[in-house]
Amino acid sequence: MEQKKRVLSCIQPTGDMHFGNYFGAVKNWVDLQAEYECFYGVVNYHAMTMPYDSKKLVHNTWELIFNLMATGLKTETLFIQSLVPEHAELCWIFNCFTSYGQLSRMTQFKDKSKQSEESSEGFISAGLLNYPVLQAADILIYRADFVPVGDDQDQHLELARNIAQRFNNQAGKEYLILPKALHTEVPRVMSTAEPTRKMSKSAGEKHYINIFAEPDRIRKQIRSAVTDAGDTPAGEMSPGVKNLFSLLKACEKHDIYDALMNNYNAGNLKYVDLKEAVAEALVEISNPFRQRKAEINANKKEVKEQVKASSVEIRKRAQETIREVQELSGLLNVKF
198: annotated active-site residue = yes
According to CB under 6 A, which one of 6, 7, 9, 310 is a site residue for ligand TRP?
9
- Residue 50 near ligand TRP by CB under 6 A: no
Tell me the residue type at 324.
E
Binding mask 96-135 for ligand AMP (x = CB under 6 A): ----------------------------------------
Query: Cβ contacts of residue 261 below 8 Å, gap of 6+?
Result: 245
Total number of residues that touch ligand TRP (CB under 6 A): 13
140 in Cβ contact with 90 (< 8 Å):
yes
Query: Cβ contacts of residue 252 below 8 Å, gap of 6+?
Result: none
CA 6 to chain CA mean position, Å = 17
Measured CA to CA, the distance from residue 289 to residue 18 in angstroms comes to 12
Could you tell me which stretch among 12-20, 73-81, 102-110, 114-122 binds ligand AMP (CB under 6 A)? 12-20
Measured CA to CA, the distance from residue 227 to residue 205 in angstroms comes to 19
Q: Which does 227 bind (CB under 5 to 8 A by kind): ligand TRP, ligand AMP, none?
A: none
Q: Which does 286 bind (CB under 5 to 8 A by kind): ligand TRP, ligand AMP, none?
A: none
Could you tell me which stretch among 20-28, 247-255, 260-268, 308-316 binds ligand AMP (CB under 6 A)? 20-28
Q: Report the residue count for the chain.
A: 336
53 in Cβ contact with 11 (< 8 Å):
no
Footprint on residues 130-159 left by ligand AMP (CB under 6 A): 150
Given 5, 56, 198, 242, the catalytic residue: 198
Given 27, 112, 253, 275, the catalytic residue: 112
Q: How many CB atoms lie within 10 A of CB 23?
A: 22
- Residue 80 near ligand AMP by CB under 6 A: no
Measured CA to CA, the distance from residue 93 to residue 98 in angstroms comes to 9
CA 58 to chain CA mean position, Å = 18
293: annotated active-site residue = no
Q: Which does 24 bind (CB under 5 to 8 A by kind): ligand AMP, ligand TRP, none?
A: ligand AMP
Binding mask 184-213 for ligand AMP (x = CB under 6 A): ----xx--------xxx-------------
- Residue 10 near ligand TRP by CB under 6 A: yes
Nearest to 248 by CA among 287, 211, 275: 275
283 in Cβ contact with 290 (< 8 Å):
no
Q: Which does 138 bind (CB under 5 to 8 A by kind): ligand AMP, ligand TRP, none?
A: ligand TRP
Reduced 3-state DSSP string for 213-236? CCHHHHHHHHHCCCCCCCCCCCCC
According to CB under 6 A, which one of 153, 210, 243, 310 is a site residue for ligand TRP?
153
Q: Rounded to the nearest whole angstrom, what is the least distance from the CB of residue 17 to ligand AMP in the complex?
A: 8
Footprint on residues 100-129 left by ligand TRP (CB under 6 A): none
C-alpha pair distances (Å), 322 with each of 137, 138, 285, 319, 335: 10, 12, 41, 5, 11
- Comparing CB distances to ligand TRP, the nearer of 218 and 318 is 318
Count the helices and strands in the chain (H runs, E runs): 13, 5
112: annotated active-site residue = yes
Q: Which does 196 bind (CB under 5 to 8 A by kind): ligand TRP, ligand AMP, none?
A: none
Residues catalogued as catalytic:
112, 198, 201
- Which stretches of the chain bind ligand AMP, using CB under 6 A? 11-12, 14, 20-21, 24-25, 150, 188-189, 198-200
